[in-house]
Amino acid sequence: MRTIPWALATTLILSSSGCLEHEETLVVSADGSLSVRYEVHGDAEDLEGGAAEHPADGPWQVTRSTRAKRDGKLEHVLTASAELGSVDELPAHFGDPESALTRATRLEVTPSAEGRVYRFSRSYGAREWAPYAFAQERAFPKEVRALFERLDDYPAFSAAERQQLVRGLCELERVKIAHWVERSLSRMGQHADARARAALPVQAALDAELAASVDAAFLERMLSDPERIEATSRALEARLHARAAAAAARALELGPDGERKLLAGLAREQRIYEVSEDLGDEAFVVRLRLPGTVLQHNADAVEGETLVWRFSGKDLRDRDHRLLATSLARPQ
């Protein structure tokens, strides 16, 4: 589900959107060629990007359709299929190479005294999440999380309760952007002592913009006009990014070019974060059929001759996730 990055509150408002489900089927032939079929289904807007990046050209045949779910609602379905000469032709990612989910697939075929051995492996790249999980826990203790469950009754909140929400939302945004500045400066070759020198000016700049822009009345306007939530939050994000980049550039004397690079870095880190956030409630199913008899695997189930892995986007947070299988095809 695509969420609005700046505020957990707006995420709850938009929670009527459903998560995506990704299904992939790979059938490997004796010569190492394979057929691949992807199916991604969910709400229409969720299929447009983020974690839903999918094949779009080259050897891929792509279709879009709709179908009824058990509850009678329509879901949108995207399918993409291809015949490939080897797993080397299977892309490691689709969409933006800097932020997309990566899936490195390998197939080793070696002769043995008993026949041919097929060793399949896939590694899904880890998505950084621990800093954000820590920030959310700090920004939203139990009593504040309880307030989110009552957002429909926001007009009846006390002044103290409204301030708790505002403080939590500002704290989360402050920590996220400060982290993105740190990572962006590191990618620009700035050493740890320079990054530390920029940290306090960046914090002061973010505090000043948040104090000027976000208060209980701002949150109430957001909640009362859901159609403007994304535009309003994006405008706020743009101001915060600009203030943070300018503060870091001044502190480190990076000049206008350095400030532009830092702004681009912040946008990059935000894209990576948003895809990681999207993945949190996504479900994945991978089905694999190898030649011969399967000898070893770490699949979750075996359905006939097919190995099946089931996992969620949360399994990709802060660690690689690996699918492994080995089979032996004896001579006929």
What are the tens digits of pLDDT across the range 66-87? 988 877 788 889 999 999 999 9
- The helix or strand, by DSSP H or E, that contains position 326, with its residue range, turns out to be strand 321-329
Region 108-130: what's the mean pLDDT?
96
Nearest to 177 by CA among 216, 144, 135, 127: 135
Partners of 132 in the β-ladder: none
User: Given CA atoms 203, 209, 212, 217 in this order, what sign does their dihedral have?
Assistant: negative
Region 109-127: what's the mean pLDDT?
96
pTM equals: 0.87
Amino acid at the residue 151 = L
With cut-offs at 50, 70 and 90, classify the pLDDT of residue 227. Answer: confident
Higher pLDDT, 326 or 15: 326
Report how far residue 298's alpha carbon sits from residue 128's, in angstroms, rounded to the nearest whole number. 24
The whole-number pLDDT of residue 51 equals 62
CA 31 to chain centre: 35
pLDDT, mean over the chain? 89
What are the tens digits of pLDDT across the range 169-210? 899 999 999 999 999 999 999 999 999 999 999 999 999 999
The whole-number pLDDT of residue 2 equals 38
pLDDT over 80 at 154, yes or no: yes
